Amino acid sequence: MVFQSYALYPHMSVRENMGFALKLAKVPQEERDARVEKVADLLELRQYLDRKPRALSGGQRQRVAIGRAIIREPSIFLFDEPLSNLDAALRVQTRIELARLHERLGSTMIYVTHDQVEAMTLADKIVVLKDGRIEQVGTPMELYHHPKNRFVGGFIGSPKMNFIKARLESTSTAGVEVILPGGSRMTIPVSAQKIAGGQNVELGVRPEHLQLDDKGPLSGTVIVVERLGSETFVHVELSPEMIVIAQVDGSSTIRVHDQVRLSAFANASHVFAGDGNALPALNKHPLVASHI
């Protein structure tokens, strides 16, 4: 088990911290040294074996804590928010190291986190919990492209999914027709077997699936522009109660206070019923269908 608190013995060296469990188990000294050095090489800690924890960086201390778990050769690892105490740069670096470690060891790892980026980048399968209840289990791409409900849709993805109030007008074999704010109609390819026309629903659209479109059905005022270089996030106020984020090209010249129109990609949009559950998509996303 590895926790957010490193729980290293401050008076022991890295070598002693990593080998302490083996010492308690009365593993012979020669074998202890060999196993410590093997794990130290795996975690790139050999040059720090004789240092005390106070002489290490936060990322190095976390690697020592991980090494202390690895040296026991468990079949299952439990990581409980192990990166919480690290700064932003170290979190990214250590996350990459954990991914490489998982690839090399091939062991089962259960990783608890509130950070959806960590979940998406590290997991083969994600279990999303809310108030102690499982909301959805699936691959990262399955949860991203086919969330089962509004909570999962809003939790997975950064920036978060946009939720646009709409009304379900009619259903057909092509999907459901919804009426958007302003009165425009849009057909979304989802199944509506368990919902009738006339009900209030929410359209879920991720920022990358909203685009600036002079003829788009949604109109509003730009209130924030976040330029990140290769991409720009544009916050648009559709109404005082409804603000959406659109991801546009980094070369866009859009500015705060601009009046814009937006359109959404129907095939990538989601419809959530009044109870928060998603209407099932008629077609699986290619990355989900291929089990990536």
Q: Is residue 154 part of a domain?
A: no
Q: Is residue 145 part of a domain?
A: no
Q: Do both 164 and 280 map to the same domain?
A: yes
Q: Do both 262 and 172 map to the same domain?
A: yes
Q: Do both 44 and 108 map to the same domain?
A: yes
Q: Do both 168 and 117 map to the same domain?
A: no
Q: Is residue 66 part of a domain?
A: yes
Q: Which two tokens stand for residue 178?
A: 């919804």
The H-or-E segment that residue 204 falls in is strand 200-205
> Domain containing 250: what range?
160-289
Q: At what angle do helices 14-24 and 29-42 cross, to 10 degrees?
A: 130
Q: Do both 172 and 254 map to the same domain?
A: yes
Structural contact between residues 166 and 202, judged by C-beta atoms closer than 8 angstroms:
yes
Cα atoms in the Cβ-side hemisphere of radius 13 Å centred on 55: 11
Give residue 250's Cα distance to chain centre: 23
Q: Is residue 136 part of a domain?
A: no
190 exposed, middle or buried (CB, 10 Å; 0-12, 13-18, 19+)?
buried
Give residue-wise pLDDT tens across range 225-253. 999 999 999 999 999 999 999 999 999 99
Q: Do both 111 and 11 map to the same domain?
A: yes
Tell me what pLDDT residue 259 has: 97
d(CA 79, CA 108): 11
**pLDDT exceeding 70 applies to what percent of the chain?**
98
Give residue-wise pLDDT tens across range 88-113. 887 888 888 889 888 888 889 999 99
Q: Is residue 130 part of a domain?
A: no
CATH number of the domain encompassing residue 240: 2.40.50.100
Q: Do both 203 and 261 map to the same domain?
A: yes
| Confidence check: pLDDT of 274 > 80 | yes
Q: Do both 113 and 211 map to the same domain?
A: no
Q: Do both 115 and 9 map to the same domain?
A: yes
| Confidence check: pLDDT of 194 > 80 | no
As a whole number, the mean pLDDT across the chain is: 91
Question: What residues contact 97, with CB distance under 8 A and at least 6 apart?
Answer: 43, 63
Q: Do both 164 and 243 map to the same domain?
A: yes
The average pLDDT across 242-270 equals 96
**Of 74, 92, 122, at which residue does a domain stop?**
122
CATH number of the domain encompassing residue 57: 3.40.50.300
Q: Do both 277 and 164 map to the same domain?
A: yes
Give residue-wise pLDDT tens across range 25-81. 999 999 999 999 999 988 889 999 999 999 998 888 988 988 898 888 888 999 898
**Tally of domains within the chain:** 2
